[in-house]
Amino acid sequence: MALILVAAPLSLFAQNTYKAQVVAHRGYWNTEGSFQNTITALKKSAEINAYGCELDVNMTTDGVLVVCHGPKVGDVADVQDTTFARMQQVRFKNGDGVPTLDEFVKCAKELGHRLILEVKTHPAEKRVEVVTKVVELIKRYEMENLTEFIAFNYEICKELHKQMPGSMVQYLLGDKTPAEIYADGIMGIDYEYSTLSSHINWIQEAHDLGMVVNVWTVDPADRIEIMVKNGVDFITTNQPVLAQQIIGALNSKK
Ligand code: MG
C-alpha cells in the first residue's frame, strides 16, 4: 500500500489548503450593466464561475413568487403587499425587470448554475404556501441537486427541510448553535460576519457535526481573508471576483 502511495503522481495530493468557495450575493451585480437579483446578475454569476448565485424570494399578494430583496423594490413600497401585475411595472436602471422565480430557476437550469435560494420571511399564515410553491418549482425544473436554501425564519428552515428532506438548508439569523440546528436536521449555518467572528468555535463545531458553514456578507478583503483562513466553506459577498482572487492567492502561497 505504501509503495502505491509513493508511486502516485504528486498532483493527486495537491489539495487546496483553503476550501472556501464564493457565493455571489444577489448574483454578480456589482459590475457594469448588472443589477441585484436580476437575470443579468444570475448570468454574470455563472460567467465568473461563482459556486452559486444567492437570490431573494418574495410572494406577491396574488401568490406569485418573485426574485427581489424587498420590502421596497423600485417604486413599490412592499413587494409582499403588492400584486404581480404591479411588480411587472418595475424597471431597474440596467433595463431588467423583477424576474419571477420560475424565470430565474429556468435560466439557472439552462446555465447549469447553482442557486442559494433565500426564502424571505413571510407572515406565519403564508409560510407553508410559500415553501410549497418554492419546492414545487425546484422539483419541476429538476434543480434539486443545484439548489440550496437559506432563511432567517427558523420555521421556514424547518418547513424546507420537511418538504425536501436531504436538501441543504442553512439558517441565517445567528441565534442558535450548530448543535441546536443539527438536532432539527438542518445541515448548515450561514451567519453574519460579526456573529461568526464572535463565535469562531462554531465553525469547527459545525464541521464536527458534518455541517457546512457560510458567512454573509463579507466584502472587505481583510475580512474575506480572515474567514477563509478560519476554514469556512462559503463566503457570501458582493465582491465575488475579489474573493476568488484572495482565495486563489492564499492557496498558491502555501
Ligand atoms: Mg438574501
Give tens-digit pLDDT for 90-125: 999 999 999 999 999 999 999 999 999 999 999 999
150 with 36, same domain: the answer is: yes
What pLDDT, on the 0 to 100 scale, is given for residue 77? 98
If you measure from the C-alpha of residue 193 to the centroid of ligand 1, how many angstroms do you get, rounded to a whole number?
Answer: 14
Q: Is residue 9 part of a domain?
A: no
If you measure from the C-alpha of residue 190 to the centroid of ligand 1, how many angstroms do you get, rounded to a whole number?
Answer: 11
Residue 56 CB-density burial (10 A; 0-12 exposed, 13-18 middle, 19+ buried):
buried
If you measure from the C-alpha of residue 246 to the centroid of ligand 1, how many angstroms do you get, rounded to a whole number?
Answer: 23
Show the cell assigned to 80: 409582499
Which residue range(s) make up the domain with 142?
Answer: 22-167
Among residues 151, 167, 183, which one ends one of the domains? 167
Ion ligand 1 nearby residues (CB, 5 A): 56, 118
What pLDDT, on the 0 to 100 scale, is given for residue 1? 46
Q: Is residue 253 part of a domain?
A: yes
**CATH number for the domain that contains residue 133:** 3.20.20.190
If you measure from the C-alpha of residue 19 to the centroid of ligand 1, how many angstroms do you get, rounded to a whole number?
Answer: 22
If you measure from the C-alpha of residue 4 to the centroid of ligand 1, how many angstroms do you get, rounded to a whole number?
Answer: 47
97 with 134, same domain: the answer is: yes
Which residue is listed with cell 498558491? 252
**Angstrom distance (rounded) from CA 123 to CA 156:** 11
With beta carbons less than 8 A apart as the criterion, state whether 116 and 150 touch. Answer: yes
137 with 246, same domain: the answer is: no
Mean pLDDT for the chain? 95
Low-confidence ranges of the chain (pLDDT < 70): 1-14, 254
If you measure from the C-alpha of residue 37 to the centroid of ligand 1, how many angstroms do you get, rounded to a whole number?
Answer: 9
151 with 207, same domain: the answer is: no
Q: Is residue 83 part of a domain?
A: yes
If you measure from the C-alpha of residue 83 to the centroid of ligand 1, how many angstroms do you get, rounded to a whole number?
Answer: 21
pTM: 0.94
The count of structural domains within the chain is 2
161 with 42, same domain: the answer is: yes
